[in-house]
């Protein structure tokens, strides 16, 4: 029996391993036990597009295997379906890494964005973190 654990890097991509506590999961767990742990990085939706290159580096160089989109980290007034979000979502599909979407305030607030991304980029796999934060009927 195998136990796989998903490790989420909670900082943005632009961290320096020597200076940042977020290096801990990669250096101490993911690098030492790549067959047991899977890394998930957090998408950087910066308007300058640096998050796309950072995603590529983490997947291709550091062997991260998923990326999380947190819609509440997008610049104010913007959605995950903006130019940067679409480019990162598309690139994740090209790289073969699933996109986990963290709808902490409820799936219904972001379902139209998720549907648009899935319709435009059907080869990108989507995971709804925490079951979309849906509340079961009582």
**How confident is the model over 99-132, as pLDDT tens digits?**
999 998 888 999 999 999 999 999 999 998 877 7
| Pick from 39, 69, 72: nearest CA to 57 | 39
| 63 φψ region: left (φ > 0), alpha (ψ -120 to 50), beta (else) | left
Mean pLDDT of 22-42: 73
**How confident is the model over 48-87, as pLDDT tens digits?**
999 999 999 989 988 889 999 999 999 999 999 999 999 9
SS (H, E, C) 20-86: CCCHHHHHHHHCCCCCCEEEEEECCCCCCCHHHHHHHHHHHCCCCCEEEECHHHCCCCCCCCCHHHH
Report the CATH number of the 5-133 domain. Answer: 3.20.20.140
Mean pLDDT of 33-47: 85
Domain boundaries, the chain: 5-133
For residue 49, the model assigns a pLDDT of: 92
pLDDT reading at 42 higher than 70: yes
pLDDT band for 1, please (50, 70, 90 cuts): very low
pLDDT band for 25, please (50, 70, 90 cuts): low
pTM for the structure as a whole:
0.81
For residue 132, the model assigns a pLDDT of: 75
């Amino acid at each position: 029996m195998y136990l796989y654990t998903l490790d989420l890097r909670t900082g943005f991509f632009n961290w320096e391993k020597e200076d940042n506590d977020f290096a801990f999961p990669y250096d101490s767990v993911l690098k030492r036990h790549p067959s047991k742990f899977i890394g998930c990085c957090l998408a950087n939706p910066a308007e300058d597009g640096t998050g796309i290159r950072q995603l590529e580096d983490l997947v291709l160089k550091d062997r991260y295997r998923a990326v999380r989109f947190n819609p509440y980290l997008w610049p104010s007034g913007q959605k995950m379906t903006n130019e940067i979000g679409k480019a990162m979502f598309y690139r994740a599909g090209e790289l073969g890494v699933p996109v986990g979407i963290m709808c902490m305030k409820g799936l219904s607030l972001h379902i139209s964005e998720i549907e648009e991304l899935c319709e435009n980029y059907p080869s990108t796999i989507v995971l709804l973190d925490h079951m979309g934060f849906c509340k079961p009927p009582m």
